[in-house]
C-alpha cells in the first residue's frame, strides 16, 4: 500500500499542493497534520506509523514535511525500516529501498539541520544587535486582568499561590515573580 504523509506548520496554511502531489503519485491513503514538525508527537504521524505494514511505502513531498531534524528523521525512517516499510521523499528523490537512497537521506537530513542551526544563529545575532540598540524588548508580559484581586486574596491568606496561579493561568514561579514586581512597584516611598 502507498501511504502519503502531508504536513503544514499551522492550521491556516494550505495543504493543496502536497495533496496534489499525493494524487499524482497515486497514493492510496493520506495522513495529514497541521502543526509544527518540531517533534514527532503529531496525531496523524503517530497514527500512520502504527498503521503501516511490511511492504508498504510512505511517501512525502519533502523531508522537511516529515521531520525537522536529523535525529527525528533517522529515528522515524529506522522505525519504518524495522517494519520493512519503504520511505520515499519526492522532492529529494530519496528511496530507502536502495543503499544510495539511505545515504542521501542521512546527508539531506544533516544539511537541513545545519540550515536550521544557521537560521537560529542569525536570529540570535539579530536579537543581540537589536538589544544593543534598545530596539528589542523581548516578548511582552502576559496581561493579567485579575492579578490585583488574586494578589490581595493570596496576601490575606484566603487562597494559596497554587490556586491563584491556576486562576490566572500562569505557573507558580511566574505568580511569585509578578508578586515581587507588584510589591516593588507599590512600595511606599521613604522621605
pLDDT one-digit tens code per residue, 9-22:
888 889 999 999 99
Q: How many CB atoms lie within 10 A of CB 146?
A: 11
Please report the pLDDT score of residue 8 as a whole number.
Answer: 93
Place of cell 502504527: 50
pTM for the complete prediction?
0.58
Interatomic CA distance for residues 10 and 89, integer angstroms: 21
* pLDDT at residue 19, as a whole number: 94
For the annotated catalytic residues, the residue numbers are 9
| Segment (H or E) for 31 | strand 29-34
Amino acid at each position: 500500500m502507498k501511504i502519503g504523509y502531508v504536513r503544514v506548520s499551522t492550521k491556516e496554511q494550505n495543504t493543496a499542493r502536497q495533496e496534489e502531489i499525493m494524487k499524482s503519485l497515486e497514493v492510496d491513503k493520506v495522513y495529514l497534520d497541521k502543526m509544527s514538525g518540531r517533534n514527532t508527537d503529531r496525531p496523524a504521524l503517530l497514527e500512520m506509523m502504527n498503521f503501516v505494514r511490511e511492504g508498504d511505502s510512505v511517501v512525502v513531498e519533502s523531508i522537511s514535511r516529515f521531520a525537522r531534524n536529523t535525529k527525528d528523521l533517522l529515528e522515524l525512517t529506522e522505525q519504518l525500516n524495522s517494519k520493512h516499510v519503504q520511505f520515499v521523499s519526492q522532492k529529494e528523490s530519496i528511496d530507502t529501498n536502495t543503499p544510495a537512497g539511505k545515504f542521501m537521506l542521512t546527508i539531506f537530513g544533516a544539511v537541513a539541520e545545519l540550515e536550521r542551526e544557521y537560521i537560529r544563529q542569525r536570529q540570535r545575532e539579530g536579537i543581540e544587535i537589536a538589544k544593543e540598540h534598545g530596539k528589542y524588548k523581548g516578548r511582552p508580559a502576559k496581561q493579567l486582568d485579575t492579578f490585583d484581586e488574586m494578589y490581595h486574596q493570596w496576601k490575606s491568606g484566603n487562597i494559596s499561590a497554587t490556586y491563584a496561579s491556576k486562576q490566572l493561568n500562569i505557573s507558580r514561579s511566574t505568580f511569585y515573580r509578578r508578586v515581587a514586581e507588584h510589591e516593588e512597584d507599590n512600595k511606599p516611598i521613604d522621605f
